[in-house]
Chains A and B, each alone.
Chain A
Amino acid sequence: MNLKPETIEKIDKLVPRYPTKRSSALPLCHLVQEDQGYLSNEAMEWIAERLELEPINIKEIVTFYPMLRTEPTGKYHVRVCRTLPCALAGAYKTCQRLEKELDVKVGHTREDGLVTLEFVECHADCGRAPVVMVGEEEYTDIDPDKAAEMAAKMKSGELSNGLPH
């Protein structure tokens, strides 16, 4: 399991802060996912061993939380909010436009790995609906036209993929 030294350092600093080892399971999943892009079986087993747990304990939580993924995403991880306030503002039209412009079905990754498009639940910014997130960046008030602009920027590589370096 080759994690970056900074990740190992963060993990080693984090685990002792919690009263029990198991409490740091979810934060460790985040750190390893940020390092590797997703959580493979090897990653889950590594985390389990690090915390003296069984691999099933880690798999249980990884499959419970939607943000933790067991497969890599495309270069752009695009998430459109579909919950009622954003839907009222037209989120479904926004998503349809993104599907069309990016030539990918929602819930899938494009064949060439450029983009993964997903529907997600409320992002708690309903005042500026529709909300779209790319990586860790949030984009608000994305109507279909703005969505098309975003899509173009993704295809040209202009848009930041929203991941920290």
Chain B
Amino acid sequence: MKHADEPGYTNDIDCYIKYGGYDELKKAVTMKPEDICAEVMESGVRGRGGAGFPAGMKWKFLDRKSGKPIYLVCNADESEPGTFKDRQIIHKDPHQLIEGMMISAFAIQAELAFIYIRGEFFQGYRILERAIEEAREKNLLGDNILGSGYSCDIIVHRGAGAYICGEETGLIESLEGNRANPRIKPPYFPAALGLYQCPTIVNNVETLCDVKHIIGMGGKEFAQIGTPGNTGTRTWCVSGHVMKPGYYEFACADITLGELIYDVCGGLRPGRKLKAVIPGGSSAKVLRGDERFTGKLKDGTEFDWGIEDIPMDFDSLMAAGSMSGSGGVIIMDDSTDIVEALANINYFYAHESCGQCTPCREGVPWMRKITQRMVDGEAREEDADLLNNIADQIAGRTICAFGEAASWPVQSFIAKFKDEFVEKAREQAARRKEGKAAAKETTLI
């Protein structure tokens, strides 16, 4: 992301090439596809869409022997609440994505590539279309790229407002023209049976851009950035109750959560204390501001952190009981009504459920109805346990990870802030007794 915000940097191809753009693609088409895959594997780059799965391993699982055409799909359906990094790349530096995609397409020998962009990025769509035409004119895309004999086109496919299209098999279904119902895995792993039942690789925008940098500097170099298992840089998107919300790119583990909030983002609003942080988009488990995190890391070292001490990378956040997810850091200070915040999140997931499988379709709206009832003034003390139990019944039983994404907020909010849920019920009961309206005016739902 280093150039995107430099003054004078424009998103057309001439500016991109002036800064050394497409040099990596020129290098890549002279390499053997398997060597590119080896570089990506060596780099250890992990998916930046949310799951954090190593891209090199995903490419390894690709079924290259089936005889069916291979497809590359870029997941530009950025819809995880709190995340807004792909938007920047698409709008400000689209050629970085296109170059990353063409290198990746060459590496997996894709026949055709797609960018699935969310429908609300109207401008982003036009920018990408123009960028693709610019690249095609310079023979960097399309037929016989740079004389290499390899041809691959990119189709930009617009979504229409469904968060579930960010799930890779939901995206594939949507691309095929169906309702975006995710597929059961097994047997429909995209690497074997993906788009049109052909081997498909689906990667996030930022991950594909990283491929370009990996080829530029070499997989080994890339792996030096960050820490083992957490290589490369990540763009953290901070929103919520901070003075300077925005997107900030750092090497993995180069910065702690505290430094991010207080040094980079200007800290909290005056007079406020940190109450809660959701570090990886609303699907990630919430962390309490005054919590102590202890345990052992993967390499055996013990840790004992306050929330400000958590290094921002994949493994540390997971060790602290949450995840880095899509990198959307949502900060909540002590003005936040936690029950309302959860009600807001539950409404989102209830709205976005595709409705295919029973636990998610019925369970998630049930949780929404409960939190809505709670903020409307009819909370009961047992609702917290009921919510937790429902979430336990959803997680792990669904077709796709949406089940977990909807359950984890509920489970973590109840685990960390149960007292607030119980207190709300008591408070409302007390107000009713006094003859006052039980519900107070809400701000978050």
- Do A and B interact directly, with beta carbons closer than 8 Å? yes
Which chain B residues numbered 216 to 266 have a C-beta less than 8 Å away from chain A?
237-241, 245-247
Interface residues of B in 107-165 (CB under 8 A from A): 112, 118-123, 153, 155, 157-163
Residue A8 interfacial (CB < 8 Å): no
- Among candidates B69, B119, B176, B348, residue contacting A122 with C-beta atoms closer than 8 Å: B348
Task: Tell me if A26 and B160 are in contact (CB < 8 A).
Answer: yes
Contact mask B56-87 → A, CB, 8 Å, 1/0? Answer: 00000000000001000000001111111011
Chain B residues closer than 8 Å to A25, beta-carbon distance: 177
Cβ contacts under 8 Å, B84 to chain A: 124-127
- List, in ascending order, chain B residues with CB within 8 A of A112's CB: none
Q: With an 8 A cutoff between CB atoms, is A93 at the interface?
A: yes
User: Do B344 and A87 touch across chains, with their CB atoms under 8 A apart?
Assistant: yes
Say yes or no: is A22 at the interface (Cβ < 8 Å to chain B).
Answer: yes
Quote the shortest CB–CB distance from A93 to chain B (angstroms): 7
What does the 1/0 interface line of A1-38 toward B look like (CB < 8 Å)? 00000000000000001111011111101100000000
Give the CA-CA distance A89 to B119 in the complex, in Å.
24
Complexed CA–CA distance, A67 and B165 (Å): 13
Closest Cβ–Cβ distance, residue B55 to chain A (whole Å): 22
Digitize B325-365: 1 where CB-to-A-CB distance is under 8 Å, 0 elsewhere. 00010101000100001001101100110100000000000
Indicate if B180 sits at the interface (CB-CB under 8 A): yes
CA of A80 to CA of B394, assembled, Å: 30
- The residue on B at minimum CB distance from A29 is B160
Q: Which of B94-102, B307-315, B437-445 contacts A (4 or more CB under 8 A)?
A: B437-445
| B43 interface residue (CB < 8 Å to A) | no
Question: B180 contacts A64, CB within 8 Å?
Answer: yes
Cα–Cα distance between A88 and B238 once the two chains are bound (Å): 12
A57 neighbours in B (Cβ, 8 Å): 177
Binds B, one of A70-78, A101-109, A128-136: A128-136
B324 interfacial by beta-carbon distance below 8 Å: no
Is there an interface contact between B87 and A125, defined as CB atoms closer than 8 Å? yes
Cβ-based interface call for A49 (8 A):
no
A84 touching B330, Cβ below 8 Å: yes
Interface size for chain B: under 10, 10 to 19, 20 to 34, or 35 or more residues? 35 or more
Q: Is the interface on chain A under 10, 10 to 19, 20 to 34, or 35 or more residues?
A: 35 or more
Contact between chains at B179 and A60 (CB < 8 Å):
yes
CB distance from B325 to the nearest CB of A (A): 14
A83–B86 CB distance below 8 A: no
CB–CB B162/A88 < 8 A: no
A160–chain B nearest beta-carbon distance, Å: 13
B366 touches A (CB below 8 Å): no
Contact call B348/A84, Cβ cutoff below 8 A: yes
Pick the residue among A23, A64, A67, A85 that contacts B240 (CB under 8 A).
Answer: A85
Query: Measured between alpha carbons, how far is A67 from B163 in the docked complex, in Å?
Result: 12
A129 touches B245 (CB 8 A): yes
Instruction: A7 to B428: give the CA distance in the assembly, Å.
Output: 56
- What is the bound-complex CA distance between A138 and B119, given in angstroms? 13
Given A60-B179, A136-B122: A87 and B79 interface contact (C-beta under 8 Å): no
Neighbour of A127 across the interface among B245, B278, B442, CB < 8 A: B245
Known pairs A68-B161, A84-B345, A122-B79. 7 more at Cβ < 8 A?
A20-B196, A30-B119, A88-B341, A126-B82, A127-B246, A129-B239, A133-B120
Which residues does B use to contact A, with CB under 8 Å?
69, 78-84, 86-87, 112, 118-123, 153, 155, 157-163, 174-180, 196, 237-241, 245-247, 278, 282, 328, 330, 332, 336, 341, 344-345, 347-348, 351-352, 354, 442-445
Instruction: Show the binding face of A for B, using Cβ within 8 Å.
Output: 17-20, 22-27, 29-30, 51, 57, 60-61, 64-68, 82-85, 87-90, 92-93, 120-129, 133, 136, 138
